[in-house]
Amino acid sequence: MTAPKIYGWCPGALRPMVSGDGLVVRIRAPLGRLKPDQTAGIAALSLRHGNGLIDLSARANLQLRGIQKAEYAPLINGLKRLGLIDADIRRESRRNLMIAPFWRRQDDTYRVARSLAQALARPDAPDLPGKFGFAVDCGPAPVLCASPADIRIERAATGLICRADGMEMGLQTDAGSAAQVALDLADWFLKTGGARAGRGRMAQHLATTALPKRHDIPRLAAATPPGPGVGTHGALVALEFGQIHAQTLAALAPLGPIRLTPWRMLLLEQAHRLPAHPQLITHPHDPRLSISVCTGAPGCKQSLSETRALARKLAGVLPRYASRPVHISGCAKGCAHPQPCAVTLTATGPDRFDLIRNGRAADAPARTGLHPHDILNGEL
């Protein structure tokens, strides 16, 4: 089995990534929110310049797929007209910012996120590794704890804290100073060798390096992210395996602004009921919500097998396994679910998978060489 290629950075709009179906162009929506004209515009651009498939990433960004090289320039021009393109690649790469979607204007999440986005756009902002990111999660209880981020700004009983990923506690701060405290922590990460060869993550760095100050303020207990349904902030709808067709996205545009979440769900701000659309998941117990799956072959060059058809078939039989979380990965990178999972199926060749229990895609398997027929008819 050939080892997958590790890029060490995430795609952007100005720095797309080559995949099996063309270029992947990632859109980092300001404050994780799209206005109706932006939603409709993205859908139209995806159909015009790509293959009409749009991914919602684990960092709450949209990824347009199937963009051919000749279509890239007109796509970027279209995104510029929608106000979705940064001034340059460096600013785009630094603006790796994930925001808890349940904010209200002028609350702490909104204020901190705006301040941090502005600070990261300054010329003197730290040049961090491509996968290094921030999470702004200042609601009544943190909801992004399971989502990937290196520096987190969260709620504590005494106000706000800035917490380094990998630490249980954080440094006291407030909405007015949180952005600068986060940047100071990012500077410390760089100055103490956290980004050797341009790569590195905070939790890995803290395994060998102590923080310069006492981070001793506990965050409030984390909340479980909600499932699909209607709440005080609007209607949450889930996407099958984190992907939506452009035509479906276009159908949502007239409903109002959309907020992107890292949970494979869209928050429809002004919706008071769930839209009826066959490609959207609106039931919180739908078995597809228990499965994480990557693009797979042929859309991803790294993938050794098709993955999504297997995921759909597995969803049909998953209830007999009590809907245990399952991760299907086309290679050992495990992009769709970097954390350990109850059951992980890692492709080792066309229609061949290793089964890992309570581990990651690259961990030692409990069983090897499984065919999809074995998986669908055997015991996970």
Q: Residue 11: inside a domain, yes or no?
A: no
**pTM value > 0.85:** yes
Residue 66 has pLDDT above 70, yes or no: yes
Kindly state whether residues 313 and 373 are assigned to the same domain: yes
Kindly state whether residues 291 and 253 are assigned to the same domain: no
Number of domains in the chain: 3
Kindly state whether residues 95 and 62 are assigned to the same domain: no
CA distances from 54 to 82, 103, 282 (A): 17, 25, 19
Q: Indicate the pLDDT class of residue 242, thresholds 50, 70 and 90.
A: very high
Give the whole-angstrom CA distance, residue 26 versus residue 5.
19
Give the residue numbers spanning the domain of 335. 287-377
What CATH number corresponds to the domain at position 248? 3.90.480.10
Element (H, E) at 115: helix 108-120
Q: Residue 227: inside a domain, yes or no?
A: no
What local confidence, expressed as pLDDT, does residue 270 receive? 86
What local confidence, expressed as pLDDT, does residue 378 receive? 80
Element (H, E) at 372: helix 372-377
Q: Residue 322: inside a domain, yes or no?
A: yes
Give the whole-angstrom CA distance, residue 93 versus residue 328.
28
Residue 3 has pLDDT above 60, yes or no: no
Tokens of 289: 């919500």
Q: Residue 10: inside a domain, yes or no?
A: no
Mean pLDDT score of the chain, rounded to an integer?
A: 94
Q: Indicate the pLDDT class of residue 220, thresholds 50, 70 and 90.
A: very high
Domain boundary at 187, 218, 249, which? 218
- 8 Å CB contact between 173 and 211: no
Kindly state whether residues 136 and 176 are assigned to the same domain: yes
Residue 278 has pLDDT above 90, yes or no: no
Residue 10 has pLDDT above 80, yes or no: no
Q: Residue 79: inside a domain, yes or no?
A: yes
Q: What is the full DSSP assignment across 216-240?
A: -EEBPPPPPPP-SEEETTEEEEEEG
Kindly state whether residues 74 and 100 are assigned to the same domain: no
Q: Indicate the pLDDT class of residue 4, thresholds 50, 70 and 90.
A: low
Rounded average pLDDT over 286-298: 94
Element (H, E) at 54: strand 53-56
Q: Residue 223: inside a domain, yes or no?
A: no
Q: Residue 232: inside a domain, yes or no?
A: no
What local confidence, expressed as pLDDT, does residue 203 receive? 96
Kindly state whether residues 21 and 75 are assigned to the same domain: yes
Q: Residue 195: inside a domain, yes or no?
A: yes
Of the chain, the percentage scoring pLDDT greater than 70 comes to 97
pLDDT by residue (tens digit) across 96-117? Answer: 999 999 999 999 999 999 999 9
| Angle separating helix axes 108-120 and 178-191, nearest 10 degrees | 40
